[in-house]
Amino acid sequence: MSYQTLLYLLSCKVKCADLVPKILFCGLGYTFHKRALCFQGEPVDESSVKKMILTFEKRSYKNQELRIKFPDTPGRFMETELDLNDIIQEMHVIATMPDLYHLLVELNAVHSLLGLLSHENTDILSFKDVVDLLQELTDIDTLQESEEGAEVLIDSLLEGQVVALLVQNMERLDEQVKEEADGVYNTLAIVENMAEFRPGLCTEAAQQGLMQWLLKRIKAKIPFDANKLYCSEILAILLQNNDSTRDLLGELDGIDVLLQQLSVFKRHNPATAEEQEMMENLFDALCSCLMLAANRDRFLRGEGLQLMNLMLREKKMSRTSALKVLDHGMIGPEGSDNCHKFVDILGLRTIFPLFMKTPKKMRKAGTVDKEHEEHVCSIIASCLRNLKAQQRTRLLSKFTENDCEKVDRLMELHFKYLEAVQLADKRIEGEKHDMVKRGEILDDVMEDEFYLRRLDAGLFVLQLLCYIMVEISNSGISQLQQRVHQILNLRGGSVKVVRHIMREYAENIGDGKSEEFKESEQKRIMDLLENF
C-alpha cells in the first residue's frame, strides 16, 4: 500500500484504531492466506473454493452498494473495501488449482473481478489486487497444468472484454507513481500470459485498443524503463505471423513510430543490455510489419531505407538488425520499389563492402557469419530480381569493377557453402541408411526435418549464391559469365551441381504465395538455367 493510500485512509471519517491493524497488514502487499492450505479452518478443496468465491461476491456487492449509497463519505464504505481486499488476497490460492477455474466462471467471479477493474480509485485496494490476482491466475505454467480449466477461464475473460478494460485502466494510471507503474507492468504480464497460451487472441487484443496504447507508450517522451521494454516485447508478440495486426499497426502510423524510436540508435549504441533488448524487439516488430505489402510502401515513404542505410554506414550495434530489415523490405516482387530506391540512395556503395568482407564488429556483437552473409546475399538477389533499366545496369557494373573481384568473392562463398551442405547431406544420408536398416519409415515429417537441417547448414545461402551466379551469367555481359565458368572449372566445380541446386530452390519457392506466382517464378528460374 502506498503512502498516499495511507494518508487517504487516515483522512476518512472512520475509527482509525479499528483499521490500523488491517492497514498495516495490507501494506505489506501480502497476506498469510496468499498460499494458504486452508480457508476458514478448512482444507482448500472444491467446497472451500466455492465458499471463498461466494464470500468474495457478497463483499464485492456490499462494497458497491455502499459506494453508490455514500459516494461522498469514504468512511462509510472503507471497511468493506478492506474486507474485499482481504478476500481477493485469499483467492490467490485458487491459482494453485487450475482444474477448479471453472468455479470462477460458474459462480460469476470472473464477471465481478472484471467489474472491479473499473474501480474509480486506482491508487488503493481492489484495482491493484485484481490485476495481481489475474496475473497469477493466468501464469503460463499454471495454465498449462490444466488445459480444460485454462480454456474456460480465458474464454470468460475474453467474453468480458478483459483487454479493453485493462487498456482503459492503463490509460488512467500515472507511471510517475511507483505502485501505478507496477500496475502497468503487471497488466502487460496478463496480456503476455494469455497471448502465449492462445496466440489467436492477438488480433482481438490489438483491436481492443492495445495496439494504439502500446504505440503511444513506446513513443512517450519519458526516460527508458522496464515498462517501455515490456511494451516493445508485447508489440513484437502481437505482430508475429499476424497480417491483421500488421495492417492495424500500419494504419495507426506505427511504421513511423518504429522508425522514430530506432533512429536514436543510428549514431548511439544502447546504454544498457535492457535497452539493447528493446532495440532488438522494435527491429523484430518492424521486420514482421514488412511481411505485409502495404507496409513496404509506408516504410518507403517514411524514409526507412535511408535510415537503415545510415545505420549500416555508422557501424553501431544497430547495423546487424538494419541489414535484416532491408532484407525483409526488398525481398519478393513487393520489394521492387524499395530495391529501386535503395540504388537511388547509393545503397550499393554500402552493401557491397559488406558482401566482400564480414565485419569483425558484427562477430563481436554475436552475429555469426552465416546470418550476415545470408542477409547480404538475399538483398543482392532481390535487387537482381527486381531492378530494371538504369538501376539494373548500375548493379551489374558493380560485378565488373576491379577485375571482377565481386565475382571472385561470390565463387569463394559458393564453394564455402557447397562444402558445408555436402557435409550435412553426407550425415543425413548416413542417418537415413541407419533408419532403413532398423525398419523405420521415412515419412514426410522426417523429410521436412532433414530439409530444415540442410537449410540450417547453409543450403539457403548456397541457393541465393547460385541464383546470383545464374542471374549475372544471363546479364548479357560475357565477361561475367566467363569468370563464373572459369572459376568453376579451376576449382573442380560443376554447372550440373549449380543447376541441381537451383531446381531444388525452384521446387520450394513461393511458400504462402499464390499458385500463379509460384508457377511464373519457377518458369523464370528454369529459363535462366537454360542459358547458364
In a domain, residue 23? The reply is: no
Position 44 pLDDT exceeds 90: no
The predicted pLDDT at position 16 comes to: 37
In a domain, residue 187? The reply is: no
Position 288 pLDDT exceeds 70: yes
Task: Kindly report which listed range (12-16, 105-109, 228-232, 249-253) carries the lowest average pLDDT score.
Answer: 12-16
Assign 182 to helix, strand or coil: helix
The predicted pLDDT at position 45 comes to: 83
Residue 491 structural domain: 418-531
The predicted pLDDT at position 314 comes to: 92
Q: What total of structural domains would you count in the chain?
A: 1
Task: Kindly report which listed range (13-17, 383-387, 403-407) carries the lowest average pLDDT score.
Answer: 13-17
Q: Which long-range contacts (CB under 8 A, 24 or more apart) does 374-377 make?
A: 374/460, 374/461, 374/464, 375/323, 375/324, 375/326, 375/327, 376/323, 376/351, 377/413, 377/461, 377/464, 377/465, 377/468
Position 123 pLDDT exceeds 60: no
In a domain, residue 214? The reply is: no
> pLDDT tens digit string along 466-499?
999 999 999 999 999 999 999 999 999 999 999 9
In a domain, residue 440? The reply is: yes
Which residues have a Cβ under 8 Å from the Cβ of 231 and sit 6 or more positions away? 188, 214, 217, 218
Position 137 pLDDT exceeds 80: yes
Position 93 pLDDT exceeds 70: yes
| CA pair distance 288, 191, nearest whole angstrom | 19
Confidence of residue 10 (pLDDT cuts 50, 70, 90): very low
Confidence of residue 25 (pLDDT cuts 50, 70, 90): very low
Task: Kindly report which listed range (21-30, 62-71, 106-115, 161-170) carries the lowest average pLDDT score.
Answer: 21-30
| CA pair distance 323, 328, nearest whole angstrom | 9
The predicted pLDDT at position 126 comes to: 61
CB 386 within 8 A of CB 394: no
Q: Which one has a higher pLDDT value, 23 or 359?
A: 359
Q: Which one has a higher pLDDT value, 442 or 184?
A: 184
**Could you please report the per-residue DSSP string of 280-341?**
HHHHHHHHHHTTSHHHHHHHHHTTHHHHHHHHHHHTSTTHHHHHHHHHHHHSSGGGHHHHHH
Which residues have a Cβ under 8 Å from the Cβ of 460 and sit 6 or more positions away? 374
| CA pair distance 352, 488, nearest whole angstrom | 22
The predicted pLDDT at position 443 comes to: 87
28: left (phi over 0), alpha (psi -120 to 50) or beta: alpha
How many residues comprise the chain? 532
| CA pair distance 469, 117, nearest whole angstrom | 62
In a domain, residue 111? The reply is: no
In a domain, residue 17? The reply is: no
Cα separations in angstroms, 458 against 263, 356, 376, 497, 507: 32, 18, 14, 16, 17
Q: Which one has a higher pLDDT value, 277 or 84?
A: 277
Residue of 40, 37, 5 lying closest to 24 (CA atoms): 5
The predicted pLDDT at position 65 comes to: 85
The predicted pLDDT at position 7 comes to: 38
> pLDDT tens digit string along 249-274?
999 999 999 999 999 999 999 999 99
The predicted pLDDT at position 465 comes to: 98
User: What does the block give as the cell for 467?
Assistant: 541464383
CB 484 within 8 A of CB 469: yes
The chain-wide mean pLDDT, for the chain, equals 88
Count of helix runs (H) and strand runs (E) in the chain: 30, 2
The predicted pLDDT at position 163 comes to: 96
CA 379 to chain centre: 23
CA 235 to chain centre: 6
Instruction: State mean pLDDT over 443-472.
Output: 94
User: What does the block give as the cell for 82?
Assistant: 478492506
Position 1 pLDDT exceeds 60: no
User: What does the block give as the cell for 421?
Assistant: 551442405
Instruction: State mean pLDDT over 61-85.
Output: 83
The DSSP secondary-structure symbol of 38 reads: E
Confidence of residue 33 (pLDDT cuts 50, 70, 90): very low
Q: Which one has a higher pLDDT value, 39 or 491?
A: 491
| CA pair distance 386, 389, nearest whole angstrom | 10
Position 47 pLDDT exceeds 60: yes
User: What does the block give as the cell for 347?
Assistant: 545503397
| CA pair distance 126, 67, nearest whole angstrom | 13
CB 471 within 8 A of CB 384: yes
Position 287 pLDDT exceeds 60: yes
Identify the sign of the CA torsion 358, 361, 363, 366. Answer: negative
Quickly count: other Cβ atoms within 10 Å of residue 449's Cβ: 11
> pLDDT tens digit string along 229-247?
999 999 999 999 999 999 9
In a domain, residue 456? The reply is: yes
Percent above pLDDT 70 for the chain: 88
Position 98 pLDDT exceeds 50: yes
| CA pair distance 263, 13, nearest whole angstrom | 54
Residue of 299, 216, 231 lying closest to 259 (CA atoms): 299
Residue of 79, 59, 111, 57 lying closest to 12 (CA atoms): 79
Name the phi and psi angles at 42, rounded to 5: -105, 150
Percent above pLDDT 90 for the chain: 72
Confidence of residue 362 (pLDDT cuts 50, 70, 90): low
CB 125 within 8 A of CB 31: no
The predicted pLDDT at position 80 comes to: 84
pTM summary value: 0.87
Position 101 pLDDT exceeds 90: yes
In a domain, residue 444? The reply is: yes
* Bridge partners, 38 (sequence order): 43
The predicted pLDDT at position 127 comes to: 73
**Could you please report the per-residue DSSP string of 57-104?**
HHHHHHHHHHHHH-TT-HHHHHHHHHHHHHHHHHGGGGGG-GGGHHHH
The predicted pLDDT at position 399 comes to: 97
